[in-house]
């Protein structure tokens, strides 16, 4: 009945030890592989026929491509399209992992902060490396907005620099905490069903209410799973656009 | 006071912060809807900005929820 129990990482088998640390294949890794395999199957299977009039499966691939590319083009411009593989992979991976996690008894990979921090740091380091590689020291100008009076400029620059370094924190914690909180809420309401069901026939009648709530919450969580993948992708686009156009 | 009781009280207090995020998210969607009804043709173009504002505002509420969860379960 412990709502935290579902996030437990179990070791399936171990590869051995490297420098005292155990290298293990866990259920988290298994679900990541399942997600990547499903995306790969979807994309390869959908584009195999390459029909002029797309079928159902090909439409799924084309719509997801169009969706991400429109988002990227509207936020980072056409120059941002060179980052399309990164943004598309992030979006599809997080979406697949979130949706798989909604299946009962499945493990939600994004409910662990280590996964989301890794993804967010990948984006953060890409922005820094690409920003300095493309613009040189001109990249630092993105922290100094133009048209600000000189006496409040240090304060504004401080806020800009601070918010830049908070980006990976909020980027990762948002996804992680949304998935964690959603799954805890689902588990708590599912626990009410069991508790009421144990109380006799009157409890069975009462248990209909939390059961309906669980169904409604699952629908909401499906929306959240998609929305958080989209939010992660769009924030990636916005952070990348800072590296591409530092003047704005 | 029992430290465990103090933790639970702290978790409850931390959740008050989510109310502020609720006000913020409501304001964002409310103004978006108001503006979209005035000019529906321009609404679709601002959907990305809507989601961005929603995400940035929601993050603050999520932070206070995170503090509550940390107090509850660690």
β-bridge mates for residue A26, sequence order: A11
pLDDT grade, residue A32 (50/70/90)? very high
Among B52, B58, B66, select the one facing A234 at the smallest CB separation: B52
* HEC-encoded secondary structure of A40-86: HHHHHHHHHCCCCCCCHHHHHHHHHHHHHHHHHHHHHCHHHHHHHHH
Count of CB pairs separated by less than 8 Å, A with B: 39
Q: Is residue A20's pLDDT more than 80?
A: no
Residue A140 DSSP class: G
CATH number at residue B10: 1.20.20.10
Average model confidence (pLDDT) for chain A? Answer: 88
Per-residue pLDDT at A1: 59
CB contact under 8 A, B59 and A170: yes
Give the residue among A125, A127, A126, A152 at the shortest CA–CA distance from A142: A127
pLDDT at A188: 86
> Mean of the pLDDT values across residues A225-236?
92
Q: What is the pLDDT of residues A81-107, one digit of tens each?
A: 999 999 999 999 999 999 999 998 888
Which pair of tokens denotes residue B59?
């993050």
pLDDT surpassing 90 at residue A39 = yes
Domain carrying residue B46: 3-73
Question: Residue A181: pLDDT band by 50, 70, 90 thresholds?
Answer: confident
Chain A nearest C-alpha distance from B9 (Å): 19
Question: Mean pLDDT throughout A126-138?
Answer: 89
DSSP class per residue in A151-173: TTHHHHHHHHHHHHHHHHHHHHH
Q: Between chains, do A181 and B52 touch, taking CB under 8 Å as contact? A: no
Interface of B with A (CB under 8 A): 45, 48, 51-52, 54-56, 58-59, 62-63, 65-66, 69, 73
**Among A48-57, A70-79, A165-174, B42-51, which is the least confidently predicted range?**
A48-57
First to last CA, chain B: 18
- Indicate whether A229 pLDDT > 90: yes
Higher pLDDT residue, A11 or B6?
A: B6
Domain count, chain B: 1
Structural domain harbouring A224: 5-244
Closest CA in chain A for residue B70:
A177
Residue-level pLDDT, tens digit, chain B, 74 residues:
888 899 999 999 999 999 999 999 999 999 999 999 999 998 888 888 888 888 888 888 888 888 888 888 77
**Better pLDDT: A32 or A76:** A32
Contacting residues for A41 by C-beta, under 8 A, at least 6 apart = none
pLDDT for position A125: 94
Q: What percent of chain A has pLDDT over 90?
A: 33
At A248 the pLDDT is 58
Work out the pLDDT band at A19, boundaries 50, 70, 90: confident
Question: Which chain A residues are within 8 Å of B62, Cβ to Cβ?
Answer: 173-174, 177-178, 181
Report whether A216 contacts A89 (CB < 8 A).
no
Q: Say what the pLDDT of residue A207 is.
A: 86
């Amino acid at each position: 009945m412990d709502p935290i129990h579902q996030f437990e990482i179990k070791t399936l088998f171990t590869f051995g030890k490297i420098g005292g640390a155990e290298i293990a294949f866990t259920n988290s890794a298994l679900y990541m592989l399942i997600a990547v395999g499903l995306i790969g199957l979807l994309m390869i299977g959908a584009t195999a026929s390459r029909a002029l009039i797309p079928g159902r499966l090909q439409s799924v691939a084309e719509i997801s491509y169009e969706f991400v590319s429109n988002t990227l083009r509207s936020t980072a411009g056409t120059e941002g399209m060179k980052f399309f593989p990164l943004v598309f992979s992030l979006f599809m991976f997080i979406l697949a992992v979130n949706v798989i996690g909604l299946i009962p008894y499945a493990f939600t990979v994004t409910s662990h902060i280590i996964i989301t921090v890794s993804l967010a740091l990948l984006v953060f380091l890409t922005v820094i490396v690409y920003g300095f590689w493309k613009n040189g020291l001109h990249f630092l100008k993105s922290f100094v907005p133009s048209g600000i009076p000189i006496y409040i400029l240090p304060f504004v620059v401080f806020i800009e620099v601070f918010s830049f370094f908070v980006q990976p924190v909020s980027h990762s914690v948002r996804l992680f905490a949304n998935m964690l909180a959603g799954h805890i809420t689902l588990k708590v309401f599912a626990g009410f069903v069991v508790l009421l069901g144990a109380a006799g026939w009157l409890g069975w009648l009462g248990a209909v209410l939390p059961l309906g709530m669980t169904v409604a919450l699952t629908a909401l969580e499906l929306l959240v799973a998609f929305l958080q993948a989209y939010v992660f992708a769009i924030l990636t686009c916005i952070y990348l656009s800072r590296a591409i156009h530092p003047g704005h | 006071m029992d430290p465990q009781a103090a933790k639970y009280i702290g978790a409850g207090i931390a959740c008050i912060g989510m109310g502020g995020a609720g006000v913020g998210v409501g304001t964002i969607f409310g103004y978006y809807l108001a503006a979209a009804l005035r000019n529906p043709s321009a609404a679709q173009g601002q959907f990305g900005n809507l989601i961005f504002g929603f995400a940035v505002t929601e993050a603050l509420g999520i932070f206070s929820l995170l503090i509550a969860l940390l107090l509850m379960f660690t």
